[in-house]
Chains A and B, each alone.
Chain A
């Protein structure tokens, strides 16, 4: 029963997307939109299959994902540490708070040319920008998470004789996890945006480079196929993060509800 309603819901959600794709095919087939401007969806589909089967997609996708997720992993580690430090130590907060507020409104992709000058057209340069772009959302969210820990919880744990280290591990970290996860969820799409930016501007490999290459050669069916495939990957990555967060933090939702 539940399975059936789920399938019905999925079908109802897919129908508008299918309608758009069908509209695309009809417009290009009837010649209302020239295939010079927009290749047919069917030929884009054929190109997508070819890209996936021939391994071209995989080869570039691995590079893009390595950069995006590598940078994101670094910003997660550094961001959580920095957020914790700022939330628990007054001098650390005093030192880093002006820097964070100064750099927060900077559109981080503006750092792409800078890292290009520092590290050349390399994986390292890409990872550095992605790290910097993902860092601040995680710092800010971790900071708020640690700050939001119920004071009463800490007091009662302390009065029961809990050691500081145990307090951190059993109370503070679990209580701030939902916030950290939220920071990660904000940083993930940012890392995809930045990796595409880097690869469009300065790269010899990667999905952004592949799209740009097909575009400048005028191979538009392959260009659109690459765009669609990467969009699908980014969408699935976002869904997985949300789903995983719900599963891991289920206890949190329950405590909120009760």
Chain B
């Protein structure tokens, strides 16, 4: 078991060892590449004194709130587009634009409209990630087995119940696909907004470390960001598998 793990990840160990040796040898300046052990120490200290944990919580709060808004809005919009022709006509071109353009260009506009605190960040995260949820919900709702809908209607199921009992469960795997695309977008927008506008968070911490050439702090923040990215991705996958199993039963 341990052997398989070492063999499976030997490249990571190799990269880590090379990093440590190169950094210690002094070939590259300290602020370009501090030794991995120094970064590890900085990371551990900053986790222990609560700095990284607190800033990570701030970023996660912003990213997840915006993401949640995007999921609610995207599912509603996607279902609306699948159900009503007029909604589809109106939003089709808007979704096509929203899906393919960099919404980060709106950072200065959102600062103007909603200030530099949580609200502007949460709203831009939502606006950036809503489109992929919308598209996948729409695709899912369109692919619901027609016969299921017919037979439910024939048995006198009300429209509202049909939505909750048939359409949404059938579209759920698609909705999760959209969420898995939207999650990294949420994080990217949250981090960049923090770098530009400040107001705490891991993005802010990282850019300040870069501005003051505190290399170990910069890398520690980067590792924290990587961990947040991995953790949220894993959590979403876990929820997905739980929900899908539960739906099948």
Instruction: Check if B97 is an interface residue, CB within 8 A of chain A.
Output: yes
Contact yes or no, A94 B11, CB < 8 A: yes
Bound-complex Cα distance A107 to B108 (A) = 21
Bound-complex Cα distance A230 to B102 (A) = 9
Instruction: Check if A212 is an interface residue, CB within 8 A of chain B.
Output: yes
A196 to chain B: which residues have CB within 8 Å? 102, 104-105
Instruction: Check if A99 is an interface residue, CB within 8 A of chain B.
Output: yes
Residue of B nearest to A36 (CB): B112
The A184-204 residues at the B interface (CB cut-off 8 A) are: 189, 192-193, 196-197, 200-201
Contact with A along B100-135 (1 / 0, CB 8 A): 111011111101110000000000000000000000
Contact yes or no, A113 B210, CB < 8 A: yes
Q: A37-B112, A116-B210, A117-B31 are in contact. Are A109 and B89 (CB under 8 A)?
A: no
Bound-complex Cα distance A26 to B44 (A) = 56
Contact yes or no, A189 B210, CB < 8 A: no
Contact yes or no, B93 A14, CB < 8 A: yes
Q: Which of these, B94, B113, B188, B210, contacts A114 with CB under 8 Å?
A: B210
B218 to chain A: which residues have CB within 8 Å? 113-114, 117
How many B residues face the partner with a CB closer than 8 A?
51
Q: Which of these, A13, A197, A216, A226, contacts B104 with CB under 8 Å?
A: A197
Bound-complex Cα distance A108 to B100 (A) = 18
Bound-complex Cα distance A212 to B100 (A) = 21
Contact yes or no, B108 A110, CB < 8 A: no
Contact with B along A16-27 (1 / 0, CB 8 A): 110110000000
A226 to chain B: which residues have CB within 8 Å? 105
Contact with B along A82-106 (1 / 0, CB 8 A): 0000000000001110110011011
Contact yes or no, B11 A234, CB < 8 A: no
Q: Which of these, A16, A215, A230, A234, contacts B111 with CB under 8 Å?
A: A215
Residue of A nearest to B226 (CB): A106
- Which of B100, B102, B225, B229 has the most chain A CB atoms inside 10 A of its CB? B102
Contact yes or no, B105 A207, CB < 8 A: yes
Q: A117-B218, A234-B102 are in contact. Are A98 and B192 (CB under 8 A)?
A: no
Residue of A nearest to B11 (CB): A95
B32 to chain A: which residues have CB within 8 Å? 117-118
Instruction: Check if B160 is an interface residue, CB within 8 A of chain A.
Output: no
Bound-complex Cα distance A152 to B147 (A) = 38
Q: A17-B94, A234-B100 are in contact. Are A105 and B229 (CB under 8 A)?
A: yes
Instruction: Check if B12 is an interface residue, CB within 8 A of chain A.
Output: yes
Contact yes or no, A113 B209, CB < 8 A: yes
A235 to chain B: which residues have CB within 8 Å? 96-97, 100-101
Bound-complex Cα distance A216 to B109 (A) = 10
Q: Which of these, B15, B97, B107, contacts A231 with CB under 8 Å?
A: B97
Chain B residues in contact with chain A, CB under 8 A? 8-12, 15, 31-32, 89-94, 96-97, 100-102, 104-109, 111-113, 184, 187-188, 191-192, 195-196, 202-203, 206-207, 209-210, 213, 215, 218-219, 222, 225-226, 229-230, 233
Given contacts A110-B202, A117-B210, 10 further A-B pairs with CB under 8 A are A16-B89, A98-B11, A98-B12, A99-B11, A196-B104, A197-B195, A200-B104, A215-B109, A231-B105, A239-B100
Question: 16 pairs across A/B with beta carbons < 8 Å?
Answer: A37-B112, A94-B8, A95-B10, A109-B195, A110-B225, A114-B218, A117-B32, A117-B215, A196-B105, A200-B192, A201-B196, A215-B108, A215-B111, A223-B108, A223-B109, A231-B105
